[in-house]
Amino acid sequence: MYEAAILGASGYVGGELLRLLLGHPEIRVKKAYSRRYADKPVHYVHPHLRGFYRGLRFERFDSEVSPDADIVFNALPHGEGIHITARLVEQGIRIVDLSADFRLKDPEKYKVWYGFEHPYPDLLEKFVYGLPELNSEELRGARLIASPGCNATASILAAAPLIKEAIIDLQTIIIDVKVGSSEAGRTPYEGSHHPEREGTIRPYQAWGHRHLEEFLQEARKLTSRGLRASMIPHAVSSIRGALASVHSWLTRDLDELDLWKVYARFYRGRPFIRIVYSSTQKLPDTKNVVGSNYADVSFAKENYTGRVSGFTALDNLVKGAAGQAIQALNISLGLREEAGLEVPPLKPA
């Protein structure tokens, strides 16, 4: 049994790690760190988990000390845990970093998208971008995992088969993402105030969203051709759920069955991808994946113009965060990829 510590355990992603690891056969949570809630029991901020984790209290992470665990999950906001992570790397601890701190390989991109000079550029190449559907080979045996962003995950999964087989115009890729309110985390702010958020439909960060760079980094591995893509996220009033709609134009005359084959080939054997295009359903719905690690993927072609869209619906806190982190970790540890993640979605919810 591996023992895990969670940094930032009081946030929503931390809460999902706690929830999912309850059902993991090989990993148990030993330490839950939170500066703000130090000494409070875990159910103080996660009242749904009352009765689970009896006796576990949040602790303040003492930077001088090793977390005394086999695995550390970093669920802190971007930048907050970067120095801790670097020290843990030195200590040789296995790390799954759910922040953006080590996702990008090119340190220059941190200036462009995050506005800071990355303090550990040499570490960037040591982290594996933990998207199992693309990088499972690299993940085997990996000790440092940078877990992808939720919008990036949804976008890449929707587009990867189309890009790999080069059947779309790679110069005009529009990624239009719609996300629920839990994506912004637990801290209240004006945009998440219920009267302001419920019922909204609004674009945000329409001048450039950071997850685009993750998309581009991974997409470039799939093709040798030039790529131009842009991402525009929108806030809607779901709590959980992200839907990525990736639009471009077919460069070959393919029908829907051909497209189905493109996706089926790409995701063959991937346990958490459900290609939902079928006789009973055509398009994904975020409501079908709530609480689970499944990504429901599909596509649609408009015959009038040749526009094709790839779609992914996922739960931003699970396949977009905590679940995917466990999935990647499972692979890296040589466990079954599905371990602890076979919980079915909850619907209606």
Residues noted as catalytic: 150
Q: Which of residues 109-128 bind its own copies (CB under 8 A)?
A: 112
Binding mask 28-67 for its own copies (x = CB under 8 A): ------------xx-xx-xxxxxxx---------------
CB 25 within 8 A of CB 1: no
CB 338 within 8 A of CB 329: no
Supply 214's token pair: 């993750």
Q: Which of residues 164-193 bind its own copies (CB under 8 A)?
A: 169, 172, 174, 176, 178-182, 186-190, 192-193
Q: How far is the CB of 66 from its own copies (least distance, A)?
A: 29
Candidates 114-122, 144-152, 287-295, 328-336 — which segment interacts with its own copies by CB under 8 A? 287-295
Question: Given candidates 236, 258, 260, 336, which one binds its own copies under the rule CB under 8 A?
Answer: 236
Supply 305's token pair: 């113009």
Binding mask 253-282 for its own copies (x = CB under 8 A): ---------------------x-x---xxx
Cβ contacts of 77 within 8 Å, gap of 6 or more: 8, 11, 99, 185
Question: Given candidates 105, 111, 202, 221, which one binds its own copies under the rule CB under 8 A?
Answer: 202
Cβ contacts of 7 within 8 Å, gap of 6 or more: 33, 61, 72, 73, 74, 75, 76, 81, 84
Nearer to its own copies, 21 or 84 (CB): 21
A 10 A CB-CB count for 102 gives 27
Q: How far is the CB of 255 from its own copies (least distance, A)?
A: 12
35 is in an annotated binding site: yes
DSSP bridge pairs for 297: 275, 312
Supply 261's token pair: 């084959």
Q: Is there binding between residue 300 and its own copies (CB under 8 A)?
A: yes
Q: How far is the CB of 284 from its own copies (least distance, A)?
A: 7
Candidates 69-77, 217-225, 285-293, 322-330 — which segment interacts with its own copies by CB under 8 A? 285-293
Q: Which residue's structure tokens are 């930048």?
A: 79
Please spell the DSSP secondary structure of 127-142, one letter per residue: SEE--HHHHHHHHTT-
Nearer to its own copies, 26 or 169 (CB): 169
Nearer to its own copies, 83 or 282 (CB): 282
Q: Which of residues 123-162 bind its own copies (CB under 8 A)?
A: none
10 is in an annotated binding site: yes
11 is in an annotated binding site: yes
Q: Distance between CA atoms of 248 and 221, rounded to whole angstroms?
A: 19
Nearer to its own copies, 219 or 242 (CB): 242
Q: Which residue's structure tokens are 């996702």?
A: 103
DSSP bridge pairs for 248: 308
Q: How far is the CB of 85 from its own copies (least distance, A)?
A: 26
CB 315 within 8 A of CB 291: yes
Supply 302's token pair: 């408009």
CB 114 within 8 A of CB 65: no
Q: Distance between CA atoms of 54 and 52, rounded to whole angstroms?
A: 5
Please spell the DSSP secondary structure of 72-125, one letter per residue: EEE-SPTTTTHHHHHHHHHTT-EEEE-SSTTT-S-HHHIIIIISS--S-GGGGG
Question: Given candidates 55, 65, 257, 349, which one binds its own copies under the rule CB under 8 A?
Answer: 349
Candidates 60-68, 76-84, 115-123, 302-310 — which segment interacts with its own copies by CB under 8 A? 302-310
Q: Which of residues 1-20 bind its own copies (CB under 8 A)?
A: 12, 15, 19
The site that binds its own copies (CB under 8 A) totals a number of residues, namely 98
Which residue ranges are tagged as binding site?
10-13, 34-36, 316
Which residue ranges are tagged as binding site for NADP(+)?
10-13, 34-36, 316
